[in-house]
Structure 1
């Protein structure tokens, strides 16, 4: 059950994406920064739709919806760029943007690119200490927020001496000095994206404009089921702009091809298909959590009342893939990528392996191999670590530049001239790569990377916890969920009351989505001779740790505490 045979009759035919790819290449070739590409695009087709905000009654911004053409968006960007420029902002300055999925985020992002400064997007679910770490580690020169989070920003920023400003009052920008005397170009730092690391603290990925162009061109060149039209596509992306997917990768691809980004505040299952139809979306992005939720909803006339050609995402269960395409009439393309790599692999050419965990083959923009622990390429069909690099003389071209202030971690992931992903995969003789598991101590929940070490550090301080190991478990809705395996301290009861108390202790230390959805009380944690926990042996003989006796389900407690 692979390939075209699984495609429902209602699926749209493949299109030729070559014109869009050629247009993207031409625009990228004559642009030094993403801002320059955007400004040129706005000059060539000012009336093309650039950004669509769908209506959402009661939302604090654009409750009636909004749509900006390239020309209108350029005016918004230029107004802000002039303010930044007049206040002295330029290369070497970093501005934290805590603006959620509001259009102001993109306007300020591009305005900062115009003056050569760096955007540092902020997860709005951060607690104070997480926000404090980001502002301090990034050495932000300014933190920009909105009315809903300005109190938190002021509270944290004032303690650090970081100026804070509400975006609506941008004309009051504080002056800065010390901008580097350079013309912004391909190697100018553009963004600092924080991604969870295996040692607990998030790592800041330094991203330049070359990264933007590499990923945007990669998207435009994929073709097959992912073929973009030139000036004729509208992509519905229900993901946060503080991630690279929506805020850098897709944004760049759409600018280079003259297309429109549809940006909801988040995933709304009740109105998903109505929103798709109302915004005239021609493609969508998804996380693994989205398809199963949509499949559980009762059949409706809305199921196929859309114009989608494809969906792009990761984590769609192979057992659900064909059924989703049959019901909704849209080709769902599984991809693989990381913040550090920008470019992604995609199973986008027929016949697709939709009944497997396949996610694509190496292609002209991204080389890939599978290595063993000794750094040797393994035979086809053998499991090993996925390593990737750019083609040509510079294997790092278009990747993240470095982990900020962490040269050791940067060197570690680039051993042997290839980027080590930490993902265990296997490769078929035709080049197709299949996902097996993650080797790194990272949990991937609903698109968020969660450091197991960070959660362990948050829980170990509770007096009922003698020892703790955090692992990932399968979750049918969210791809993976967090499980805390706890050895109770002396006198502590291994029961739900204790589990809830530990959970509430952690709530004050990490964002809600990092908290354990499951707690398992164990007698001991198996360790190596060097006292490293052997997490794979905590539940010997069990394929699914959720089947262990006495575990406590706390998933219902994982709710946002912020409005």
Structure 2
């Protein structure tokens, strides 16, 4: 992607100019000047360390492609990838695309219901899995009619029903296959939405997805994804922003990725990784950053090379920005916004314009953004609102192929996503006179109390200002007088004051930061809050808690 000095210049002159022939496996592995440069620094919790060059990943994925073909995988078949941050994860995706197969990324955090639904819905024929999910896969296998083969990594004891990954790799030297002749329009993956507002939807994408993510990442990582970059994220590689916007975007631009299959996020462990591998860029969810804030003066303990932190998936609150500025010398922090369906399309890119704390930023080159009347959009009519008015974010790509192709087997929902050429997001925001976008809430999550529209994320951000709060989720509950009142579920820190005291302090904090009507009139405490696999609060489950009179 070319560099542009000014934001307006970038918007005016950038074009997608996608190639007529394109296979991401070739793009990520074979185009670099030095194929023997390290592409993957692999670390494990037990202290093991491995390195893989671009050439070695190319050879491994060639062998796996031949092995999968031996199991009957053909172009268009769906292959599930249920592997954490381990080399077998990207190697499987790359092998799929060399065959023309379609990847279905799934997290090892899923339980049986989530795995059963996705594997069956996508019609997965082969699933490459981690030992951590073997029991769950065994439990759902018979319910997935298309699932013919299970390939388990790191096993020395294959059975009649399960192939060892290493055995599938052990193909004869003359079994190599020709890389599938694909284009940006060739099917690449079915990514599942998090299910924060309903049943997960399978989002079918073409190979152009990875080019769109790479362009976005180039911007929100401050144009720093070249061969000198070392990039790590604690986010699961099953999540689109981590897989496409971090892992594969880095390889597209020629940088090195750090992989680490952690069972959970630990702040000291994260700083160790950042220091040991000289990480220069990191996609770090806001929840992870809040946990990093617990480490006092990390620069006195860790030798850090980090230059840019990219944040997405949840609100970047002002105290996080202040901590990064005050604690991590010369590190920029950029927030980005996107959807599983619509790529990563908005960013607080500090190279082009000043960051406005609390703002999502401005649309990236290659996309148009407008704010539509949400009621009109629901009727299939695109009515842009005036500057400053609250409405629904709608986006239009300059090249249609960088957005999703369809919701898998959901034609009505696919059609409803596009309104007169604009793709609606279900997210409410305002755009100011300078073009900055200010997120309010999900459209379906809006709380209307005493006639006021309140976005739960805004209240959650205010609650998180209290130092004794680890996480917060806000919903609206029925009230005879006000229509709805605001209710918060809060995960307190271990050293938090008594619940009664904390309730009063939280209400005071919210009143201080927001309008009088926006404070939570009810607050309940829980040891943990329900989250999607991408770290978003599952407000639907909080509503179920409320219906059942508290967390189960």
SS state at 2:79 partner = strand
Q: Does 1:38 align with 2:28?
A: yes
Specify which of 239, 244, 249 is matched with residue 243 of structure 1.
Answer: 239
What residue in structure 1 maps to residue 539 of structure 2? none
Aligned partners of 2:356 and 2:362: how far apart in 1?
Answer: 16
Q: Does 1:86 align with 2:64?
A: no
Specify which of 379, 382, 389 is matched with residue 382 of structure 1.
Answer: 389
Deviations 1:382-410 (A, max 9, x none): 2211111111xx5x321111100101111
SS state at 2:212 partner = helix
Alignment of 1:98-497 (within 5 A): 98-161=82-145, 162-163=147-148, 164-168=150-154, 169-170=164-165, 183-197=181-195, 200-220=198-218, 222=219, 226-266=222-262, 267-302=265-300, 305-314=303-312, 315-329=315-329, 330-349=331-350, 353-354=354-355, 356-373=357-374, 374=376, 375-391=382-398, 396-441=400-445, 474=460, 476=464, 481=473
Aligned partners of 1:306 and 1:17: how far apart in 2?
Answer: 29
Structure 1 residue 123: deviation in Å?
2.2
Structure 1 residue 318: deviation in Å?
1.7
Taking structure 1 as the reference length, what is the TM-score of the superposition?
0.71
Deviations 1:277-325 (A, max 9, x none): 1011111111111222222322244467311111111322124313322
Structure 1 residue 484: deviation in Å?
9.0
Q: Relative contact order, CA 8 A, sep 6+: which one is greater? A: 1
Q: 1:271 to 1:183 in 2, by over 3 A?
A: closer
Deviations 1:349-368 (A, max 9, x none): 35755453222222431111
Structure 1 residue 273: deviation in Å?
2.1
Deviations 1:45-102 (A, max 9, x none): 2122211223422xxxxx4122211112112111111112333312220111111221
Q: 1:486 to 1:50 in 2, by over 3 A?
A: farther
> Is contact 2:30-2:58 (8 Å) kept?
no
SS state at 1:348 partner = coil
Taking structure 2 as the reference length, what is the TM-score of the superposition?
0.73
Aligned partners of 1:39 and 1:376: how far apart in 2?
Answer: 45
Structure 2 segments unaligned to the other structure (5+ residues): 155-163, 170-178, 377-381, 448-455, 480-488, 490-498, 500-514, 533-552
Q: 1:275 to 1:407 in 2, by over 3 A?
A: same
SS state at 1:226 partner = coil
Aligned partners of 1:216 and 1:434: how far apart in 2?
Answer: 24
Name the Cα RMSD after superposition. 3.5
Structure 1 residue 229: deviation in Å?
4.5
Q: 1:205 to 1:76 in 2, by over 3 A?
A: same
Q: Does 1:555 align with 2:551?
A: no
Query: Which stretch shifts more, 104-113 or 94-103?
Result: 94-103
Pairs aligned (count): 445
Q: 1:153 to 1:275 in 2, by over 3 A?
A: same
Query: Which stretch shifts more, 404-413 or 358-367?
Result: 358-367
What residue in structure 2 maps to residue 7 of structure 1? none
Specify which of 498, 502, 519 is matched with residue 544 of structure 1.
Answer: 519
Structure 1 residue 132: deviation in Å?
1.1
SS state at 1:56 partner = coil
SS state at 1:148 partner = helix
SS state at 1:289 partner = helix
Structure 1 residue 341: deviation in Å?
1.2
> Is contact 2:19-2:184 (8 Å) kept?
no
